[in-house]
Structure 1
């Protein structure tokens, strides 16, 4: 408490009972505590943020505090501009007035991203503006670390997930990061579901307890005759029937390590799950999805070198169970950038073919077409070749 002789101007402007400790940056009101500061903001509808347009004398500007205020103001403007640029990029909003979002320019200008694409021979086919794939593309150049971060679409068991992958990451490293993120999401989702179930069970037990106490008559001594024991768990009353024994699943703890461990094979070799990676080739004439096999230790840049992608890469992952003696050395230990042949890859599911198979199909179709052309008279054949069929 302040002395009775202390003038009011030297006390808190709100409670007038203690010396002030804080000064409001906006209107210079002096307060002694957080409660008084909040009371001032409510009464005066004050935001507590310094007004950059307020008059400041020249003598106040030529101080360390004045320089700090100007620096913070300019830094805030720069952050707001960067934030607005990122939001417009993510939403595909045009700032030039020509209908093309700012992000479109990053692929085609002479900047670092365009230079990276040209040096590695990567052809990016742009999706129509406003489409989901175009909006989902967050591929960018990180100025601070001088590296490219790709948006990569992973397809595993029919599920599609888009994640950011550094250009220097290998297929296996990117896949592991994706699985870790998926595991964290599953654990969080399961935790939320478990909390909801526990809350519902507690609410049900509480309501049953109240209903039982209201309907069951009391004895002469005022004690309630209950056949079921009542226990307090976590501050919530739960009824336990002693005649019901716990089930075998409840009484026996689960050992996830034993359950998830695959049984050994008859020849003594252990069975492991091996991931095989394939890069999707867009814009093909085949009714099947054309895939390019990629070694697991190949970096993303090497995998995309001299390849075509639609906005951003799409990588298919097929897992196979293989023994330790029969793991495919071509896809597991091939040098980075190695071209994997068809006989070195695992069999693809129905609806998928490799690039070599696609090229063989096209070659067979071309030979068939040339065979049909031989039956056409030479004069008509020239017309067909010039404009009738191939024109």
Structure 2
């Protein structure tokens, strides 16, 4: 119990019945117990955390309490950064710059993705973190259905498109799904443009003056009366012109619909898997069977972050050489490499044995042993003197 003469400023700011023992770090409210402190936080919606941006006078900063305040703030920031780094390393979580968690893919660990790659001999060359290809990779393991969903980059006539393909889907099925999805997007885009045009036309009509609409209606009625009189005089049906107009108006729409429904012939499409990290100036491709699954197509293959599949149409490019200029098959690439190796071996055999040994041991192919060379100081001085005389 406190004395009745004790001022309220010396008591708890909440219950006013006991001397204060605690001070709120945020708004300096003094309380006597945990219950009063919690009551204060509920009433004032106070977090109880010190505000680092609160104004502090210069005289307060130069005290021991001000130094402790700055030290505690910097220590708290350092602890939060250390805790965040530890969490990202343990859970494989990083931030995309907007505070959104992005789960990094671990290809070669003991998880399902790593086991899948090892079992099928797929070698994934990971792109540097932050590159566009690394960000576009959404290959993942679906735990519910126990399957792998690959991100596949399709290249058709120079246009690139990344789509998700199930590991058990065949190349041909995945290609058909890609074509259907592309047509659906084109129709949706066209429908949106048509709706926007119709809306703009409707707003234009509504903005016209009523007098102009009335005069236009009178002109149309007069023209209609004149046409009816001519039709009755010549005994011709009046519906014939409208039928003809309907036919001519519907013809372009039918042609456009036919052009939209026309798709690339699936049976004439040839598929190739891109082989990365080759010494050829051309793009090296591995032929794929359309009916093979994606997992079988990637068996014992190398991919850059995720597979890249090229699709070529034989009736456009020709059946004798379906690959355009700048592309070669892996068989042609291996043949070129074997020819280069044979040429190099022929050049080495044409060198005499003594010179060949010197070239291999101490020449351009050597370097393993230390070379003992004597330096002529007099010759070096003569060269430097000539260079100095040339600069004068």
1:321 matched to 2:320: no
How far off its partner does 1:364 sit?
1.6
> How many angstroms does 1:158 deviate by?
1.1
Matched, 1:363 2:357: no
- Which stretch shows the higher mean deviation, 201-210 or 313-322? 201-210
Instruction: Map 1:28-39 to 2 at 5 A.
Output: none
User: Does structure 1 residue 312 correspond to structure 2 residue 306?
Assistant: yes
Q: What is the aligned-residue RMSD (CA, Å)?
A: 4.0
Matches of 2:220 and 2:140, distance apart in 1: 69
1:384 equivalent in structure 2: 364
Q: Distance in 2 between matches of 1:150 and 1:187?
A: 27
Residues 213 and 299 (structure 1), Cα distance of their counterparts in 2 relative to 1, 3 Å cut:
closer
What is aligned with 1:156? Answer: 156
Q: What secondary structure sits across from 1:165 in the alignment?
A: strand
Task: Map 1:52-201 to 2 at 5 A.
Answer: 91=96, 102-104=103-105, 106-201=106-201
Structure 2 counterpart SS, 1:169? coil
Aligned to 1:296: 290
Aligned residues: 253
- Residues 308 and 387 of structure 1: CA distance in aligned 2, closer, same or farther (over 3 Å): farther
Secondary structure at 1:278 match in 2: strand
Contact 2:176 2:266 in 1 (8 A): no
What is the TM-score when the length of structure 1 is the normalising length? Answer: 0.56
**Further displaced range: 129-138 or 180-189:** 180-189
Contact 2:140 2:150 in 1 (8 A): yes
Give the CA deviation at 1:321: 3.0
Preserved CA contact (<8 Å) 1:90 1:136: no
- Of the two, which has the highest radius of gyration? 2
Q: Spell out, residue by residue over 1:257-305, the C-alpha distance to the aligned partner (whole angstroms, 9 max, x if none).
A: 877899xxxxxxxx97521110000011111110000000010010000
CA distance in 1: counterparts of 2:310 and 2:222, whole angstroms: 57
> Which has the larger share of helix?
2
CA gap 1:210/1:347 in 2 versus in 1, 3 angstroms: same
TM-score, normalised to structure 2, is: 0.56
Shift of 1:205: 2.8
Q: Are the equivalent residues in 1 in contact too, given 2:152–2:162 (CA < 8 A)? A: yes
Q: Residue deviations 1:323-373, cap 9 Å, x none?
A: xxx9x9xxxxxxxxxxxxxxxx85201111000011111112222222333
Q: Do 2:183 and 2:260's aligned partners in 1 also have CA atoms closer than 8 Å? A: no
Deviation at 1:385, TM superposition (A): 3.2
Distance of aligned partners of 1:94 and 1:148 in 2 relative to their CA distance in 1, 3 Å threshold: farther
- Hey, what's the Cα distance between the residues in 2 that align with 1:280 and 1:385? 33
Three-state SS of the structure 2 residue aligned to 1:316 is strand
Partner of 2:374: none
In the alignment, is the contact (CA less than 8 A) between 2:312 and 2:322 conserved in 1? no
How many Å separate the matches in 1 of 2:223 and 2:285?
Answer: 63
What is the rounded CA distance, in whole Å, between the counterparts of 1:358 and 1:352 in structure 2? 10
